[in-house]
Amino acid sequence: MKLNNIYLEKVIIEALEEDIGFGDLTTDYLIPSTHRSSGKIIVKEDGVVAGVGVARSVFEAVNSKIEFKAMVRDGDQVRAGDVIIKITGPTAGILKGERTALNFMQRLSGIATKTCRLVTKVKDFPVRVVDTRKTTPTLRQLEKYAVRVGGGYNHRFGLYDAVMVKDNHIKAAGGIKKAVTTLRRNIPHTTKIEVEVTTLTEVEEALEAGADIIMLDNMDIETMAEAVKQIEGKALVEASGGIDENTIIEVARTGVDVISVGALTHQIESLDISLNLDSD
């Protein structure tokens, strides 16, 4: 997955405007514009790096004279203490871009690290670990990019690029069959339909309606395994709902095709990363 440059530029400018505002009161009145420094961005715990290019773009936006040398690439495994970036240039620019660059890298690396842990646990199963729409508003593309960096896959990006019939849609439409029938009549012929189910009865209804993908939502392992047998390859099977590092292997063993985990993007710990200027 490649980040959209227009989107990235907009997000970075908004983040810098949020932080710098009318100016950096500390740096602007303390550091001469001619002052130059060198520094290192260091990772302080083990993990997977993501957002190197984003950090580069942040510093370029602040001051194009800043020299940015990446020692790693997105997706690389790093150890605590590793120097991942070397930076040289106008001190004021480095200081103004520091927090924004680190905020992006820390969060994206945290997502990539968590994703990698889950993907590694089920590497011996023919299953994909995917994200959800539970992302930080305006940062969805970046966070889904970090999932890919960590070895995971992306679910739909928004309401606009896939059909997913959830419980409230079913209630409003008057049932699974009515919902699927109406959608088939109105959506493009190239679009697949996913239906969320919670019981084996609803699994049968989704199959009879001709759903292309059936999401097993918050099912226990036994029911999930039975649902997979019931579907018998007639539709793609997705498992979702409260799946974590402790349960993901059991879920994979049921034979589902896809495991979606909202926690990849909304319950993560940022990776600890810092920037240290070299001493004169």
Distance CA 145, CA 74 (A): 10
- 130-157: pLDDT as tens digits: 999 999 999 999 999 999 999 999 999 9
Q: What is the mean pLDDT of residues 75-80?
A: 98
Is residue 50's pLDDT more than 70?
yes
Residue ranges for the known binding site are: 99, 132-134, 156, 166, 196, 217, 240-242, 261-263
Q: What is the mean pLDDT of residues 15-35?
A: 96
Give this prediction's pTM: 0.95
Is residue 198's pLDDT more than 70?
yes
Query: Is residue 192 annotated as part of the catalytic site, yes or no?
Result: no
- Residue by residue, what is the 3-state secondary structure of the chain? CCCCHHHHHHHHHHHHHHHHCCCCHHHHCCCCCCCEEEEEEEECCCEECCCHHHHHHHHHHHCCCCEEEECCCCCCEECCCCEEEEEEEEHHHHHHHHHHHHHHHHHHHHHHHHHHHHHHHCCCCCCEEECCCCCCCCCHHHHHHHHHHCCCECCCCCCCCCEEECHHHHHHHCCHHHHHHHHHHHCCCCCCEEEEECCHHHHHHHHHHCCCEEEEECCCHHHHHHHHHHHCCCCEEEEECCCCCCCHHHHHHCCCCEEECCHHHHCCCCCCEEEEECCC
Q: What pLDDT is stored for residue 280 in this prediction?
A: 64
Query: Is residue 144 annotated as part of the catalytic site, yes or no?
Result: no
Residues of the chain above pLDDT 70, percent: 100
Q: Which of these is catalytic: 40, 134, 177, 253?
A: 134
Q: What pLDDT is stored for residue 1 in this prediction?
A: 79
Mean residue pLDDT across the chain: 97
Q: Which of these is catalytic: 10, 166, 178, 234?
A: 166
- Domains of the chain, first to last: 5-112+269-277 (3.90.1170.20), 120-266 (3.20.20.70)
Query: Is residue 2 annotated as part of the catalytic site, yes or no?
Result: no
Is residue 13's pLDDT more than 70?
yes
Is residue 115's pLDDT more than 90?
yes
Residue ranges for the known binding site for substrate are: 99, 132-134, 156, 166, 196, 217, 240-242, 261-263
Query: Is residue 123 annotated as part of the catalytic site, yes or no?
Result: no
Q: Which of these is catalytic: 36, 56, 99, 117?
A: 99
What is the phi-psi region of residue 53: left when phi exceeds 0, alpha when psi lies from -120 to 50, beta otherwise? alpha
Q: What pLDDT is stored for residue 220 in this prediction?
A: 97
Is residue 80's pLDDT more than 80?
yes
- 237-249: pLDDT as tens digits: 999 999 999 999 9
